[in-house]
Amino acid sequence: MKRLVVGSRESELAIAQTNLVIAKLKKEYPALEVEVKTYKTSGDRLQTQSIDVLTNKGLFVKELEEALLEGEIDFAVHSLKDMPMDVPEELPIVAVTKRGDPRDVVVFKEGSFDGLNHFPNMRVGTSSMRRKIQFQALYKEARVEEIRGNIMTRLKKLEDGEFDAVLLAAAGLQRVGLENRIGMYFEVDEILPAAGQGVLAIQAKREEDNSLLQAINDEETFLIATAERAYVNELGGPCTSPVTAYGEIKTHKLYLTGLYYREDTNHFYRETIIADREAPEASGVSFAKYMRRRYRC
């Protein structure tokens, strides 16, 4: 059986997610040997720019993509939401895992939550403009501030008293065994997740035989993620633009909800369509064009 080398960011979450992918591969191919090589990405080193900008520029995947091109690794595991919408043609996403919990959550500093459904004068940290605008619409009295770093760094800042609460992705906390820290979940109709949130993406060279990786691909998640990313890619806009889309398959139909944000008015709009399952990319693009036409006037 072939021996593979997988690339991962070096954070605790990234390694945990990479191990999830390896476990899925070994379930299909018990004799498979997999070595993990970790990399500190440019996005991990830069602590002054927003997560949105770093993601748009591909700085959380740059070093891993270079390792793929140089032949240092056979494939790389990413959080799909951390990948730019345009990936190199020679380095496609060859598989995605079944989506984990897509919801955003709040983690509170011990003793800072009074049990009420509001956040009076609380300092709430997030690195995402998407989370900020939606959370602020729900809780206008909260003070939303920028926070950077991986999950453990953010939780340390929380416990050190820099914040009263932080907004994070449920899937990340669950994958590192910190689900018990979650104080409050937001349903997707309250805060729409990032495109691809909760999904792990496997990236590899197009020219290689990637049939082993195809064996762990979740086709429905791939379809949904394709529509979500097409919507966001079509709208484009400034690097920090918090547009997003979220898809679900219900009764064999693909429902796609899109968020459109107008920076000039600081308003955002949401709509849901039934997309074409046979053409998820085209559906995402046409939905984005419709949202632009409708809400730019």
What is the crossing angle of helices 151-159 and 12-28, to 10°? 140
CA 136 to chain centroid, in Å, comes to 20
- Return the active site residues: 82
Between CA 259 and CA 244 the distance in angstroms is 5
**Torsion sign across C-alpha atoms 202, 204, 207, 208:** negative
> Which ranges constitute the DSSP H helices of the chain?
12-28, 42-45, 51-56, 62-70, 129-138, 151-159, 170-175, 211-214, 219-235, 280-295
Could you tell me the two tokens for 120?
């009076």
CB atoms within 10 A of CB 146: 13
